[in-house]
Structure 1
Amino acid sequence: MTLRPLLDPQLIYLEPAVRAYARGREILARFPQARQVEIDSHWRNPELYRAAAAAEDWLKLKRDVLVLGVKKGMTLRPNGRSADFIAPSSSNGCAMACSYCYVPRRKGYANPVSVFVNVDDIVRSLERHAARLGPKTEPNTVDPAAWVYDLGENGDLSVDATISRNVEDLVAAFRAIPNAKASFATKWVNRDLLAYEPQGRTRVRFSLMPAEMAKVVDIRTSPMAERIAAVNDFVAAGYEVHVNFSPVIVHEGWEAEWRRLFQEIDDVLTPAAKAQLKCEVIMLTHNEALHDVNLAWHPKGEDELWRPDLQERKVSEGGMVNLRYKVAWKRRWLDQLLGWMAQTMPYCTVRYAF
C-alpha cells in the first residue's frame, strides 16, 4: 500500500493575487488535481474555520488543504532566545498535529499550511535589515558572531519545502548575507534539504523528546530515532544543527525516559555533530481552550498535558488561560533534567532553559 504524503492538497484556497507571482503559478501547477477556491484574505476564511470545528476532520484538514497568499507586512521582531530576530514568515500553519502546539491558538484552531508566494520580498526585507545592523560586535547566547533570524516561528519549514522552493531560496539567500544566519525548528526529516548547500549559514533545530511521550503527543511527525540520526547528515551537509528539548512534560517515570533519550543521542551522534551541538530546553505550557479542542479529537494526550495537580493557571497578555508547572516545582524539575543531560552529554551547551 502506498501511503499518502503528509501534505497532499485536494483543496487550495488562494488570494487572487497569487496567480501574478511565478511562485504561485509553480505551486498551482504542482497540484493540478486540487480544487481552487479564491478568498479575499489568507487570514480570514470563515469556511475553513467552520471545517476545523469538526473534530473528525481535524487531521484530514491538515493533509488535504493548502492556503496560498501574499505576505503583506514585513515586520521583524526582536527575540533573544532562539534567534536575535523573528523574520517575516514565508508560511504559517502546519501539516503535523502536535497536541500541545501553541500556534493554532492564534488561528481559531484551523491550522493548515499557508504559504506566501512573494518570498523575494521577504528575502529583500532580511537583506536590508541585516545591512542596517552591520557586524555583530557583542557575542550573546544566540550566536557569538552572526545575527540570527528565525524563519519558521509559526510553522515547520521542512514540511513547507515539500510544497515549494521557498525554503531553498531562503537558505540560498543567507549564504550571501555575511553577518547573518537563518534558523528554524523542525520535527520532520526532509532529506531534500541536504542538497541546499547552506555553507554554515543556516541553523536547523531538531525538536526532541522521549519516544514514549512523542507517540502520544507528537502526532504526524518523524520518529524520534529518525530525527536523531538526521543530525549527523545535516551537519555533514553544511548545516549548523542544534536540538530543542521541547516541550518537557513531567509525569511519572519521566526520568528514565529522558535518560534513555540522552543516551541514545550520545550513542548516535558523530564527533563532528557533538562538537557543534547546543540546545534549548522548554518546559510545557498548556492552554485551556486547546485542552477543550483536544478532548474532541485526541483525548489520550490530555492525560499527560492537562495536569492541574502539577500546574497552575496563568492568564496571558492576550487574555488566554494557560497552564504551566507550579513555579516552586518547575525550577527543581528543570535543574534535575539539566543534571541528567550533563551526566551523559557534557559537550552540549545549553543556550537557554525555562
Structure 2
Amino acid sequence: MPLPRELISIERIFYEPAVETFPYGQTMLARYRSAERIVVPSHWKIPELHGNEGSVEDWIRIKRSTLVLGVKKSLSMRPNGRSAHFIAPSTSNGCAMACAYCYVPRRKGFANPVTLFVNTEQACGAIRRHALRQGPLPEPDSIDPQAWVYDIGENGDLSVDASLYDGVRDFVHLFREIPNAKASFATKAVNRDLLTYEPRGRTRIRFSLMPERIAKLVDVRTSPIHERIAAIDDFVAAGYEVHANFSPVILYEGWEDEWRELFRQIDGTISAASKAQLRCEVIMLTHNAGLHDVNLGWHPRAEDLLWRPDIQEIKVSEGGQTNLRYRSGWKGRWLARFKDLLAAEMPYCTVRYAF
C-alpha cells in the first residue's frame, strides 16, 4: 500500500553520477522517469537544499517532491549501546516527514528530503561480515537477550523509504540469514507493505509514540498515534519484534495526565501476545538553538513546547553539538516520575534504556 501522495510525490531527483552504475540507481531513475533530473557531485553538497535558510519557506514542498540518490561511502559499524549494539551503514538520510524536534537538520541542513543510498548490496555485505566476526552475544543485556542488534535506520524513516524502493526489504531479508544478529529501526509511519517481508523474528520495529495532542503539533506529516498503536498487533503477527519508542518526552503543564492516558490507550488496544514481547526506550527531549531559529520560520507553535530555557540547560553532545536538555537533577526526577507512571499502567513493558 503506497503512502499518501500528500506525504511524498517525487517531481525532482538529485543524484551522484555513480548512482547510474548500481541496479537500484537504474531502477529508481526508471521508476521516476518523469521527474526532473539534476546531477550533483555529492549528496552532501546541494546548496539549494542543505544550508540554505531560504528553504524554510519551502520546507514541506521540498520534502514531498524531492529525492536525492547517492552512494554510501563509509560502510563501517559504529558502537552504540542504547537502542542497538551497533549503528549499521545507513540505507538513507533525511525524511519526507518534518518533526519539529528532528536532529538531522542540525547536521545536514534545513530542507533535508529523503536521500536513498543505492549500493545496498555492499552495505548488506559489510553488515554480514561484521556480524559473523562478532560470534555469539556473550550474555544477555538490556539491548537483547540473544543477538547483536544493528540499527539500520539511524538517519531516516525506513517505513517511508520502503514505499520508494526495495532496499529496506533487502535488509530485512539479510537478517533472516544471520543467526547471531537482529535489525532494528524506529518509525513514525505505518507502511503495511512491510507486513509482507517475512522478518521471522529478526527485525525489531520501534514505533515512536507520544500523546496524540502533542504529536499533532510536533510530529508533522507522520502517521497518527492511534494508527501506530493499532498496527502493533499486525506487525507482531507478521513476525516482527515490536517495541515502543517513547520519544521525545516533552515537559509541559499536564504532561503526566496525557502520558497516563496514552499508556492506557496502548494497554487497551494491543493483544496479550504483543504485551508479552513489548519493551520500550524512553528519550527526554533534546533541542537546539539553531533548530529553534529554523522552526520559528515555519512552525512557531511547536516552539512553545520545545523551547523552554526556563527548565533547560546547555549541554555539548557526544557528537560535539551544543544542545538544550532539561536541567540535570530535575531531569532525573521527571524521568523517574515517567517510569513510575509507565510501571503503574503497563507493568509488562520493561524499559530497556532511558535518558
TM-score tier, shorter chain, comes to over 0.9
> What SS class does the counterpart of residue 200 from structure 1 fall into?
coil
3-state SS of the aligned residue for 1:327? coil
Contact 1:281 1:350 in 2 (8 A): yes
Matched position secondary structure for 2:50: helix
CA deviations 1:121-152 (Å, max 9, x no partner) are 00000110011111112111100110000000
Matching residue of 1:129 = 130
Give yes or no for contact 2:12–2:36 (8 Å, CA) kept in 1. Answer: yes
1:190-209 superposed matches below 5 A: 190-209=191-210
Question: Aligned partners of 1:203, 1:318: CA distance in 2, in Å?
Answer: 26
Are 1:223 and 2:224 an aligned pair? yes
The whole-number CA distance in structure 2 between the counterparts of 1:212 and 1:53 is 30
Matching of residues 271-310 of structure 1 within 5 Å? 271-310=272-311
The answer to whether the Cα contact below 8 Å between 1:21 and 1:118 also exists between their aligned partners in 2 is yes
Q: Corresponding residue for 1:337?
A: 338
Superimposed CA distance per residue, residues 292-332 of structure 1 (whole angstroms, 9 cap, x where no aligned partner): 00000000000000011111122345553311111121111
Q: Distance in 1 between the 2:353 and 2:309 partners?
A: 26
Q: CA RMSD in A?
A: 1.3
Give the counterpart letter for 2:125 in structure 1.
R
Amino acid of the residue matched to residue 147 of structure 2? A
Give the deviation of 1:72 after TM superposition.
1.2
Match of 1:240 in 2: 241
Q: Does 1:266 align with 2:282?
A: no
Q: Deviations over 1:51-95 (max 9, x none)?
A: 563322001110011000111110100001000000001111010
Q: 1:290 to 1:172 in 2, by over 3 A?
A: same
Q: Is the 8 A contact 1:281 1:353 kept in 2?
A: yes
Please tell me the residue identity of whatever aligns with 1:223. Answer: P
How far does the alpha carbon of each residue in 1:260-304 deviate from its partner, in whole angstroms, 9 at most, with x for none?
Answer: 000000000100000000000000010010000000000000000
How far has the Cα of 1:29 moved from its partner?
A: 1.5
Corresponding position: 1:151 with 2:165? no
1:303 maps to a residue whose letter is D
Q: Distance in 1 between matches of 2:201 and 2:96?
A: 28
Task: Give the aligned partner of residue 117 of structure 2.
Answer: 116
More moved, 203-212 vs 108-117: 108-117
Unpaired segments ≥5 residues, structure 1: none
Shift in alpha-carbon separation, 1:14–1:208, aligned structure 2, 3 A: same
- Displacement of 1:109 after TM fit? 2.1
- In the superposition, the TM-score normalised over structure 1's length comes to 0.97
TM-superposition CA deviations, 1:248-268 (whole Å, max 9, x none): 000001111001000000000
* Separation in structure 2 between the aligned mates of residue 80 and residue 3 of structure 1, nearest angstrom: 35
Contact 2:55 2:111 in 1 (8 A): no
TM-score normalised per structure 2? 0.97
Q: For the residues of structure 2 that align with 1:281 and 1:49, how far apart are their CA atoms?
A: 30
2:103 corresponds to: 102
What SS does structure 1 have at the residue aligned with 2:264? helix
Task: Give unmatched runs, 5+ long, in structure 2.
Answer: none
1:44 is displaced (CA, Å) by: 1.2
Once residues 173 and 228 of structure 1 are traced to their aligned partners in structure 2, the CA distance between those partners, rounded to angstroms, is 27
Q: 1:88 aligns to what?
A: 89
Secondary structure in 2 aligned to 1:48? coil
How far off its partner does 1:43 sit?
Answer: 1.2
State the distance in 1 between where 2:25 and 2:234 align: 31
Equivalent residue pairs, number? 353
1:60 maps to: 61
1:178 aligned residue: 179
Overall identity of the aligned pairs, in %? 63
Return the letter of the residue paired with 1:239.
Answer: Y
Using the alignment, how far apart are the partners of 1:8 and 1:204 within structure 2?
25
CA 105–235 in structure 1, closer or farther in 2 if over 3 Å, else same: same
Residue 73 (str. 1) matches residue 69 (str. 2): no
C-alpha contact 1:87 1:150 (8 A) present in aligned 2: yes
Is residue 2:263 matched to residue 1:256? no
Q: Please tell me whether the aligned partners of residues 52 and 58 of structure 1 are also in contact (alpha carbons under 8 angstroms).
A: no
Indicate how the Cα distance of structure 1 residues 316 and 148 shifts in structure 2: closer, same or farther if over 3 A, else same: closer
